Amino acid sequence: MGWSEPPTVILESGGESLQQQQQIRTTDPRDKGTSKVPETITITDDRTGKKVTVPITDGVFPSSALRELDPDLRMYDPAYLSTAACRSAITYLDGDNGVLRYRGYPIEQLAEKSTYLEVAYLLLNGELPDKAQLAQWTHDVVHHTFIHENMRKRFVDGFHYDAHPMGMFVSAVAALGTFYPEAKDVLDKDVRDKQILRLIAKAPTIAAMCHRFSVGLPFVYPDNNLSYPANFLNMMWKVGEYEIDPRLERAMDVLFILHADHEQNCGTTAMRVVGSSQADPYSAAAAASSALYGPLHGGANEAVVRMLTEIGSIENVPAFIEDVKSGKAGSRLMGFGHRVYKNYDPRARIIKQTAYEVFQVTGKNPLLDIALKLEEVALNDDYFKSRKLYPNVDFYSGLIYQAMGFPVEMFTVLFAIPRTVGWLAHWQELLTDKDQKISRPRQWYAGPDSRDYVPMIQR
Ligand code: ACO
């Protein structure tokens, strides 16, 4: 069946016509207590006349309604555009209004006042830590930053000299799990907590190790006296004497906060899908990192810098925008658009501000002018306006990373370090959610009907 044929299942929200609902809702759209609109949806199968009415809670209705109507009925929802695959209390995202909150706290407040490790605690535990809890958590993370020597000597040293650091990161995260066989015991809370600690603490060590290997520099061991972002910068850049500028340390921490979680994105969904089979968290985090690697997801920051470099000067911006619109450029305006945000990504706003602070230390990234011009032209262009395409988190982050000296190949790795906590918070939530089972979507089969095998001689 194609979509051009008339529908045979009718969904009515609240049992009213759309016009009636709109009239009532316009009068009092938010007052659920006294509204005359029932918070239900009725689904009618026109083939049988059977109806099922189920509640709508927070804009969500259970798919069990469809199974009740007909167990063989499927909803075709490629890329999960209308599917809530889980119930989550971690991150709130309102794409129309550009709102992002972790455990209820606005991202703007966290970026201004908090630290990455405090945010990590918040995401994992649901509440901000008190002084003693933060001290303990920081101590625990700091004391798990070292990795087994064989990880570096036997595993990482085996990569080809020009291996992409993100490819190395993905593989190293999976390999790390082989050092902790108990990690398979995912239903044991103590075991889970230990692996969470290890992954968060070791992610920067692995990331820096991948970079040092790819440029042929000796590995720098973690320094337990440094903060989380300072330790990472030290492992990345230390050659002889190295002093960390506190403004760059803070900028790194802010970037880590902004990237810590973003609810059910492609990488987190990969984490949940793999985690749902009760695979160990290292394997699941490697899958999530792989998803992040793609240019439509975390790989976009690398693509943005390559795009800006290719554009070369602000005079070429209008022509480039025309090429994007006509499809001639062969690609999209990287760092623009988002599945959920149909407004300015709040993280992009903070990152843009952080970029100016970093440039005070490093000097301005010459690509900034091209980026600003691109943003200006796109935000005033009907093509982008009508599709609600705004800068996303990746549009300005690459410029900061580049100004700080990170090679473009490291950009997605810089995203993966802080996102590790988001993946783990969701993994933990998944394993303690009684509604969850192994992920197993259904399909709409479109292949041939049954047919007999044809021997080679007759083909
Ligand atoms: N440049 C030009 N046109 C775009 C862009 C873009 N960056 N993004 C979307 N569009 C257009 C599409 O061509 C489509 O137009 P059409 O209706 O004429 O066919 C329309 O906008 C809707 O696009 P979809 O592909 O349906 O949107 P979707 O939600 O599937 O894609 C995505 C979201 C993947 C982020 C997309 O906007 C994109 O490819 N952006 C560039 C890559 C990028 O920056 N990714 C990082 C996202 S943030 C993150 O993952 C951390």
N-term to C-term CA, the chain: 30
pLDDT at 35 over 70: no
Residue 143 falls in the annotated catalytic set: no
Q: Which of 253, 261, 345, 394 is catalytic?
A: 394
CA of 343 to the centre of ligand 1 (A): 13
Residue 148 falls in the annotated catalytic set: no
Judging by beta carbons within 10 Å of its beta carbon (0-12, 13-18, 19+), is residue 200 exposed, middle or buried?
buried
- Atom 35 of ligand 1, nearest CA residue: 338
Q: Which of 144, 338, 345, 426 is catalytic?
A: 338
Which residues does residue 102 pair with via DSSP β-bridges, in sequence order? Answer: 91, 105
Q: Which positions ≥6 away from 179 have C-beta within 8 Å?
A: 148, 150, 151
Q: Which two tokens stand for residue 352?
A: 């843009």
Residue 338 falls in the annotated catalytic set: yes
- Atom 13 of ligand 1, nearest CA residue: 332
Mean pLDDT, all residues of the chain: 91
pLDDT digits (tens, 9 = 90+) for 176-209: 999 999 999 999 999 999 999 999 999 999 999 9
CA of 253 to the centre of ligand 1 (A): 28
pLDDT at 3 over 50: no
pLDDT at 26 over 70: no
CA 395 to ligand 1: nearest atom:
44
CA of 419 to the centre of ligand 1 (A): 21
Q: Say if CB 409 and CB 302 are below 8 A apart.
A: yes
Q: Which two tokens stand for residue 127?
A: 């509440």
* Ligand 1 probe mutation, 82, 338, 343, 377, most atoms within 8 A of CB: 338
Q: Which positions ≥6 away from 130 have C-beta within 8 Å?
A: none
pLDDT digits (tens, 9 = 90+) for 79-124: 999 999 999 999 999 999 999 999 999 999 999 999 999 999 999 9
Q: Which residues of 59-75 are buried (b: 16+ CB within 10 A; e: fewer)?
A: eebeeebbeebeeebee
How far are the Cα atoms of 72, 103, 241, 369, 376 from residue 337, in angstroms, in the given order?
A: 36, 25, 42, 20, 15
